[in-house]
Amino acid sequence: MIFLGVLPWFVLMAAGIVASVVLLVWGYRSGQFADQERARYLPLRDREEAVPDGDSGRVAPEIYALVGLMAAFGLALALTLALVVFKNYGG
């Protein structure tokens, strides 16, 4: 019976681990970790140099995906918290 009380937390942890592994594999395959020498000096570059010309007003599609993932995981966390609170204190 106690296992049912912590089951939502295990599901949330498993979803977080799966998402982390998927994003790590995506980053590796897309070459995010390929040029570590250049990445070391990126924070030291001027801001005008870092912003590409042309598409400065457009939002990248990756931002929408990231916001969607954050909203989904935030909703899952809020739902889990609500289930635990209502189960323990709601009756």
Kindly list the domain boundaries of the chain, sorted by start residue: 7-51+59-89
Residue entry with tokens 């889990």: 80
3-state helix, strand, coil in the chain (%, to 5): 75, 0, 25
Do the beta carbons of residue 5 and residue 87 sit within 8 Å? yes
pLDDT along the chain (91 residues), means of 10: 73 92 92 82 71 64 91 92 82 58
Distances from the Cα of 74 to the Cα of 62, 71, 78, angstroms = 18, 5, 6
At residue 1, the pLDDT reads 54
What pTM was computed for the model? Answer: 0.43
Encoded amino acid at 36, one letter: Q
At residue 91, the pLDDT reads 58
At residue 8, the pLDDT reads 82
At residue 52, the pLDDT reads 58
